[in-house]
Structure 1
């Protein structure tokens, strides 16, 4: 293993594609395509679905896996404490209309409806494991929701907070439930499942230690230049929690996500440059490798050649929108009908987490290659259609 010669050709091709994709996507004026969707499609062109130029090796797999972890880390970094503060007197005698309550009820409704529809799909032999498929369909995409709300300058509004809360609750809850389910499925041991609580204990300890470290005067002088102490500490946290999750037999997505939450809590969003630096490292290198490799390993011929796919893909796409649109009707308590449907449309977007959840299911043998392929296509289609539908509905409202 030590004497193994590492080939950089596949990595070079991936990085070259990563540099070209944003330029190409920006030129497309007909429809707004997220960069990561462009990366997946580009990966499909040069990968197994097309030219078959990218081949896995140890270093490429490691970089892609770390890109996956970094993506979950940045999802945790999106959590902003100010969105969890409820102004005193704002919701007097109307606790059920607070953003946190509405988003929690929406997620519960999504879970129940998703499980019901997955059972219907199971009657036709389209689904193997109902629980993992329910969790897959219950996800949303912070990576699509946040930029769309920012573009409309809605993040600081009550309506924007409700949508953001709903995305945060969906992402965190599904991440936790997937970790819980995988631990149960892999070990089927209650004691092993209880180890999950240890990672939350570690979260609390590291947060307390981090607060004390960040208050040291020396930290400001080491923030930039060759020191980059905040970036270094961020990587310590990522690898600590990913390693801890691995030791406890948990999925690394939870560990990476919690590390991101800690960094978010320890740094001022408006003043700290750490967010821009970590975004640059993640989306500029590691995460692009992950998404291009997802596309490169995706065999679209296998999905489309299977007669079952004629029913599977439309069924999953319709289900993916129903499980968000129907529960989103609860938004009518605070918003107009157009805003309600616009919120349901935006929350129907899926991307990183749905692909991650499906990949975990495929690794455990709970999700077939056909379903995994259909999930990737649903992610690509939904994250293109959903922002367009949101912009149309919300623009018509305003």
Structure 2
């Protein structure tokens, strides 16, 4: 095995063990408090990592799997988006709220750093929403098929996709003109992929999907993985972040499978979720915890005080515009819950701060405070949002699932 992919034997045990322990702990605590599993994945990663008990370090193999996990997280976030439900009001409102967030965040970042360009980079971390993280929470709470779920989905979709575009423009090191050209080329590639995905499938494709669905052939799953690899490769080839390719691949795959019979589509989705949430995504979050710079965070009381400050900024900069621009008919409690979901941030905060630290735009201690605030947002904001919303019944059995119309909002 190549030296770049040498693995510590203990990491091959402890990283999966942390992934297994996380839902067990979350389940045991459920009678007192509902904590997202991702929180325990990160905390257990910190515990076993270099700044915790130092049992394991991030080796080449585990880090590579973690990168696949991040790509799969973005893919599943894109796959969950149903633009037929989100078009119109929800998407327009979410876009307007994000633009307000962007202007305020870049302004705050510039003022805080006293260096406009570097501060703008730091401000990007305040514009994100962890759609991939809150999706399992919304699904488990039975929120996805509701009009409120459509609003959160639209807000989260913009909060994931728009910052990725901003990363490509501001953090790539390219000139604005070159960035616009590259994004234009990627948009053309995406349009071609979407047009192909929306074409009617020949009968033999449907038959092959059905015939291999429970055999070693797994034609549908292999095709989806090919789509993921192709879109990520296209993004990397154009010197864009792989997250843009992975997120777009999810959208394309959703369209590609839309013509598959419903029973087969549900099985394929279950297999994709098993690959993502059962294997790759937990590794990403555990490794994110292992990489967390706990020493830098705890070494300076001033840095530690930044954590609640950044947490409040997530609420003020990202959550408040989403809540304020919500539909007029939305109640105060639901409006507050929407703002809390919008302010939940973590994966892209990790990505943005990593890029900024590597480029010398951000001190490691400040990055740790931002990531720490992101972890607290994942821990507290969805819980508070669920409390504001109250009990939401899980979706009805297939065939009885209510149809919703969020477009009127």
TM-score, normalised on structure 2?
Answer: 0.85
Correspondence for 1:320: 314
The superposition leaves residues 36-67 of structure 1 with CA deviations (integer Å, 9 ceiling, x where unpaired) of 21111001111122111212332222111121
Correspondence for 1:358: 353
The superposition leaves residues 321-373 of structure 1 with CA deviations (integer Å, 9 ceiling, x where unpaired) of 11134212122523122221221122111122222222232333323211221
> Aligned with 1:195: secondary structure?
helix
Instruction: Work out whether 1:179 is the aligned partner of 2:168.
Output: yes
> Aligned with 2:57: secondary structure?
coil
Rounded Cα–Cα distance in structure 2 between residues aligned with 1:68 and 1:360: 15
Instruction: Work out whether 1:381 is the aligned partner of 2:382.
Output: no
Rounded Cα–Cα distance in structure 2 between residues aligned with 1:158 and 1:277: 27
2:74 touches 2:132 (CA, 8 Å); kept in 1? no
Aligned length: 383
Rounded Cα–Cα distance in structure 1 between residues aligned with 2:99 and 2:345: 18
1:237 touches 1:259 (CA, 8 Å); kept in 2? yes
Correspondence for 1:142: 131
Pairwise mapping of residues 1-398 of structure 1 onto structure 2 (< 5 A)? 2=2, 6-29=7-30, 30-85=32-87, 98-122=89-113, 129-183=118-172, 185=173, 187-188=174-175, 190-191=177-178, 193-212=180-199, 214-218=201-205, 219-220=208-209, 221-268=211-258, 271=263, 272=265, 273-327=267-321, 328-331=323-326, 333-395=328-390
Rounded Cα–Cα distance in structure 2 between residues aligned with 1:65 and 1:16: 19
How big is the shift at 1:3? 7.6
2:50 touches 2:290 (CA, 8 Å); kept in 1? yes
1:140 touches 1:348 (CA, 8 Å); kept in 2? yes
CA spacing shift, 1:234–1:60, aligned 2, 3 Å: same
Q: CA RMSD in A?
A: 2.7
> Aligned with 2:390: secondary structure?
helix
Rounded Cα–Cα distance in structure 1 between residues aligned with 2:87 and 2:202: 23
Rounded Cα–Cα distance in structure 1 between residues aligned with 2:241 and 2:354: 12
How big is the shift at 1:277? 0.9
> Aligned with 1:129: secondary structure?
helix
1:141 touches 1:167 (CA, 8 Å); kept in 2? yes
CA spacing shift, 1:14–1:169, aligned 2, 3 Å: same
2:72 touches 2:276 (CA, 8 Å); kept in 1? yes
Unaligned runs of 5+ in 1: 87-97
Rounded Cα–Cα distance in structure 1 between residues aligned with 2:85 and 2:354: 31
TM-score, normalised on structure 1?
Answer: 0.87
> Aligned with 2:345: secondary structure?
coil
How big is the shift at 1:193? 4.4
Correspondence for 1:94: none
Rounded Cα–Cα distance in structure 2 between residues aligned with 1:321 and 1:52: 34
Rounded Cα–Cα distance in structure 1 between residues aligned with 2:391 and 2:272: 36
> Aligned with 1:51: secondary structure?
coil
Rounded Cα–Cα distance in structure 2 between residues aligned with 1:130 and 1:41: 29
> Aligned with 1:333: secondary structure?
coil
CA spacing shift, 1:55–1:173, aligned 2, 3 Å: same
2:142 touches 2:392 (CA, 8 Å); kept in 1? no
Rounded Cα–Cα distance in structure 1 between residues aligned with 2:383 and 2:82: 26
Rounded Cα–Cα distance in structure 2 between residues aligned with 1:189 and 1:115: 17
1:117 touches 1:319 (CA, 8 Å); kept in 2? no
Unaligned runs of 5+ in 2: 394-409
Correspondence for 2:397: none
> Aligned with 1:334: secondary structure?
coil
> Aligned with 1:14: secondary structure?
helix
CA spacing shift, 1:354–1:275, aligned 2, 3 Å: farther
2:36 touches 2:137 (CA, 8 Å); kept in 1? no
* 8-17 or 45-54, which deviates more: 8-17
